[in-house]
A and B are shown apart, each in its own frame.
Chain A
Amino acid sequence: MSAAANADTDLEAFRLEARKWLEANFPPSLKGKGGMMMGEDGPSNTTDFAKWKKAMGDRGWGTPTWPKEYGAGGLSTAQARVLQQEMGRIGAFNPIGGMGVMMFGPTLLEYGSPEQKAKHVPGIVKGDVWWCQGYSEPGAGSDLASLRTQCIDKGDHFLVNGSKIWTSGAQFADMCFALVRTDNSKKHEGISFLLIDMKSPGVEVRPIKLISGNSPFCETFFTDVKVPKENLMGPLNGGWTIGKRLLQFERAGLGGGVGGGGLNRGGEARTLDVVAKEYVGANDNGQVADADLRTRLTNHLMDQRAFMMTIFRAQAEAKGNQGPSATTSIMKNAGSRIGQERAELLVEVMGHQGLGWEGEGFTRDELDTIRGWLGGKATTIYGGSQEIQNNIIAKRILGLLDHQ
């Protein structure tokens, strides 16, 4: 038998193992509820969810490809894909999530000291420790490196003063990975990467109410917060490189979300044309009655198809060992733009029914659509704004020069 055939056999064996384990451990009551449980409001706390989280955390499959020595899955990428497929088959979802898994963990594995990894990775693997991101400041958004939160070396500890904004989930976070200023005389080279316990005295969290009515982000204030020296990750004044690396993990996780509310009714997915015909009506040929809207819906469908095909092409190229291609640089802007256009179209399709805020007179789908439309406006702002992404494309990919 060839090596490839061997690998296939092993993979099928793993599939059976995963299927058996998932069927034994996934509570059927949670079927299809992944989106609800892992939403913006932080980790859910129902009994079945806790049971499922513990099972996945103990097995290490919430972080399937991370090393086994920290209790993670230790699976190959191919095995992780099989696990994903098997979870999808029975409506299961990964209950271990948040920024610890998506962003901080991969960076910690790459840059953390052996002691830091041993201390912090297992908590993320088990889903016991919730992390938040302390990057942006009121005066440091797109120009992140102008951040000013002060971190002073006091000999046996660091002393932190300043404030961070857009700290997602800070109200239920246990720990914060933050960029702090350790040298005022340099810009990028004066930044360090620090791990801060959110329960430390002097940490104050205030939720920020967004235009969607939700408060997924906070403003976090640090007043004379003492941080142990061992919580400095990477070299002093060497935090910018680590911080940037983490942003790559963040951006990889953003922009793919060309979903959109309003297309579900009682858990049943409906295509855009069905929704449009319900609200706008159909003409004698069964087409969306409003020709102008129909053209714009079609434009959107074409954009969305092109985007999905680009994702698949980029994945195929990456698998073909051509390395990450220039294609990935367009993903965040293309994906977020298409997602926002979809939300705009849905609101427009729903007409007056798409303009509700709460209460009687509007269906759940309709209210979800408008809230989703508002929330989605952030996708071209966070994780490197649309303008910053365009700068990256123009300068790094296209080689265009700065204004001279």
Chain B
Amino acid sequence: MAVLNEEQTMIRDGAKSWVSEKSPVTAFRKVRDSGNADGFDRAAWKEMAEMGWAGILIPEDLGGTGLGYLTLGLVLEETGRTLTASPLISTALTATTALLLGASDAQKKKYLPQIAEGKLIATLAVDEGPHHHPEKIALAGTASGGKVKLNGRKTWVLDGGTADLIIVAARTSGKPGDKSGITLVAVDGKASGLTREKLKTVDSRGYANLTFKDVEGEALGSGEGYGILDATLDRARAGLAAEMLGHAAQSFDVTLEYLKTREQFGQKIGSFQALQHRAAKMFTDLELARSCVEGALAAIDKDANDVAQLASLAKAKVGDLVHLVSNEMVQMHGGIGMTDAHDAGLYLKRARAQEATFGGSSYHRDRYATLLGY
């Protein structure tokens, strides 16, 4: 655990007690089973915003607290523990980062205070196919009278069905594959020509595929946006990695508890060395991943020059971790872990969605190698 200051400790403890009281796994189950088309509970999001979580990255003069990424990571770790579905990742982390890094002062003033208040759901639309490849963006943006006209398709947009503001990464010059020629474009969720197809996914959250037909939007800031997109994604990856860390830690804790209570052959199954060693391996991986996640978040706050490397390191290591722990959670629980009534399956399903979002371990290993010059 990172060494926290007083404010961070307070926020972490507040998050811990809020998720256990207001947003335990049963709350997520309720969202899933109620057929809630948003993919999250709006009343819970309101409470989260009232606690200031929507504005942790937003400077005080724009209505937030400006506490930074490590602090938001502490909250995400706790919401990750109980599978809390909310716009924290889409809005408070990703879209907010894009606005902070790329928007003009006027645009920041227009959107960020509303986000901090929890009144504006926002998201970033990047992917266009089954895999995360920001450099391959093809969705066309053409300048027209101070606006940008968008044509194309985006997939797997987080909270894409409900977002009031969609920040679209569009290609305004060059060809797919070029690491330039990208503009970030702010689009109203109700813009004409925009079709949103809500998806029913394995982790029961609010993703959507979006189709743009002559949709008008406003460019964020001015000039080249690929660098802003890249930096935004690294911050989103590190933040998502914090949620994944909490997810893995909770899966591990629940499994460990089961090893200590379930009896077979007249003894606790945790007395079997084969299982003890697997638990020890998970604990080891968990500790290693924690260092990577906290390191990436701290590097972002310090504006260090190795954020990209650390974000890829964190996403790859914690991706492998949730993969392992979610599988072991089901296996070590045996038959009961296969039932929908048990939580293991919920963690397993969410794990694969987390792994794929903003690039899987394989993508980030390759990126890490490239960044290091291998």
Q: Determine if B339 and A351 form an interchain contact, defined as CB atoms under 8 angstroms apart.
A: no
In the complex the two chains form, what is the Cα distance from A139 to B336 in whole Å?
Answer: 11
In the complex the two chains form, what is the Cα distance from A52 to B356 in whole Å?
Answer: 45
Nearest Cβ in chain B — how far from A19, in angstroms? 42
Kindly specify which of B89-97, B127-135, B227-235 makes contact with the partner chain: B127-135
In the complex the two chains form, what is the Cα distance from A138 to B335 in whole Å?
Answer: 9
Q: Determine if A352 and B130 form an interchain contact, defined as CB atoms under 8 angstroms apart.
A: yes
Pick from B202, B334, B339: contact of A209, CB below 8 A: B339
Name the residue in B207, B263, B362 with the highest tally of chain A Cβ atoms < 10 Å from its Cβ.
B362
Which residues on A sit within 8 Å (CB–CB) of B131? 279-280, 351-352
Nearest Cβ in chain B — how far from A371, in angstroms? 9
Q: Determine if B362 and A293 form an interchain contact, defined as CB atoms under 8 angstroms apart.
A: yes
Which residues on A sit within 8 Å (CB–CB) of B263? 139
Identify the closest chain B residue to A377 (Cβ).
B330
Nearest Cβ in chain B — how far from A184, in angstroms? 15
Name the residue in A293, A351, A370 with the highest tally of chain B Cβ atoms < 10 Å from its Cβ.
A351
Nearest Cβ in chain A — how far from B300, in angstroms? 25
In the complex the two chains form, what is the Cα distance from A355 to B355 in whole Å?
Answer: 11
Instruction: Mark each residue of chain B from 351 to 374: 1 if its CB lies under 8 Å from any CB of chain A, else 0.
Output: 011011000101101100000000
Q: Determine if B338 and A381 form an interchain contact, defined as CB atoms under 8 angstroms apart.
A: yes
Which residues on B sit within 8 Å (CB–CB) of A380? 331
Instruction: Mark each residue of chain B from 19 to 58: 1 if its CB lies under 8 Å from any CB of chain A, else 0.
Output: 0000000000000000000000000000000000000000
Nearest Cβ in chain B — how far from A253, in angstroms? 19
Kindly specify which of A69-77, A237-245, A384-392 makes contact with the partner chain: A384-392
**B156 contacts A by Cβ under 8 Å:** yes
* Count of interface residues, chain B, beta-carbon cutoff 8 Å: 48
Which residues on B sit within 8 Å (CB–CB) of A374? 202, 345, 348-349
Instruction: Mark each residue of chain A from 108 to 134: 1 if its CB lies under 8 Å from any CB of chain B, else 0.
Output: 000000000000000000000000000
With A279-B131, A351-B131 as given contacts, are A381 and B264 in contact (CB-CB < 8 Å)? Answer: no
**A378 contacts B by Cβ under 8 Å:** yes
Q: Determine if A211 and B201 form an interchain contact, defined as CB atoms under 8 angstroms apart.
A: no
Q: Determine if A209 and B200 form an interchain contact, defined as CB atoms under 8 angstroms apart.
A: no
Q: Determine if B130 and A211 form an interchain contact, defined as CB atoms under 8 angstroms apart.
A: no
Identify the closest chain A residue to B348 (Cβ).
A211
Which residues on A sit within 8 Å (CB–CB) of B331? 377, 380-381, 385-386
In the complex the two chains form, what is the Cα distance from A348 to B274 in whole Å?
Answer: 28
Instruction: Mark each residue of chain B from 248 to 276: 1 if its CB lies under 8 Å from any CB of chain A, else 0.
Output: 00000000000000011110000011110
In the complex the two chains form, what is the Cα distance from A361 to B127 in whole Å?
Answer: 15
Which residues on A sit within 8 Å (CB–CB) of B363? 290
In the complex the two chains form, what is the Cα distance from A39 to B155 in whole Å?
Answer: 33
Pick from A211, A280, A351, A381: contact of B349, CB below 8 A: A211
Q: Determine if B130 and A347 form an interchain contact, defined as CB atoms under 8 angstroms apart.
A: no
With A356-B202, A385-B334 as given contacts, are A143 and B349 in contact (CB-CB < 8 Å)? Answer: no
Nearest Cβ in chain A — how far from B350, in angstroms? 10
**B84 contacts A by Cβ under 8 Å:** no
Nearest Cβ in chain B — how far from A395, in angstroms? 12
Q: Determine if B265 and A350 form an interchain contact, defined as CB atoms under 8 angstroms apart.
A: no
Which residues on A sit within 8 Å (CB–CB) of B274? 387, 390
Identify the closest chain B residue to A278 (Cβ).
B130
Which residues on A sit within 8 Å (CB–CB) of B132? 351
Which residues on B sit within 8 Å (CB–CB) of A143? 264-266
In the complex the two chains form, what is the Cα distance from A293 to B360 in whole Å?
Answer: 10
**B197 contacts A by Cβ under 8 Å:** yes
Q: Determine if B344 and A211 form an interchain contact, defined as CB atoms under 8 angstroms apart.
A: yes
**B341 contacts A by Cβ under 8 Å:** yes
Identify the closest chain B residue to A390 (Cβ).
B274
Nearest Cβ in chain B — how far from A399, in angstroms? 17
Pick from B155, B200, B266, B340: contact of A358, CB below 8 A: B200
Pick from B155, B207, B340, B353: contact of A213, CB below 8 A: B340
Other 17 A-B pairs with CB < 8 A, given A210-B338, A377-B338: A211-B339, A347-B352, A348-B356, A348-B360, A348-B362, A351-B356, A351-B360, A354-B356, A355-B202, A355-B352, A357-B200, A358-B200, A374-B348, A381-B330, A385-B334, A386-B331, A403-B273
Q: What residues of chain A have their CB less than 8 Å away from a CB belonging to chain B?
A: 136, 138-143, 146, 165-166, 208-211, 213, 279-280, 290-293, 296, 347-348, 350-362, 370, 374, 377-378, 380-382, 385-387, 390, 403
Q: What residues of chain B have their CB less than 8 Å away from a CB belonging to chain A?
A: 127, 129-132, 155-156, 197, 199-204, 207, 209, 263-266, 272-275, 327, 330-331, 334-341, 344-345, 348-349, 352-353, 355-356, 360, 362-363, 365-366
> Which 10 residue pairs are nearest across A and B when measured between Cβ atoms?
A211-B345, A351-B130, A143-B264, A352-B156, A292-B362, A209-B340, A351-B131, A359-B200, A353-B130, A143-B265
21 contacts between A and B (CB under 8 A): A136-B335, A142-B334, A279-B131, A290-B366, A351-B131, A351-B356, A352-B131, A352-B156, A355-B203, A355-B353, A356-B200, A357-B201, A358-B200, A360-B199, A362-B199, A374-B348, A377-B327, A381-B331, A381-B334, A381-B335, A385-B334
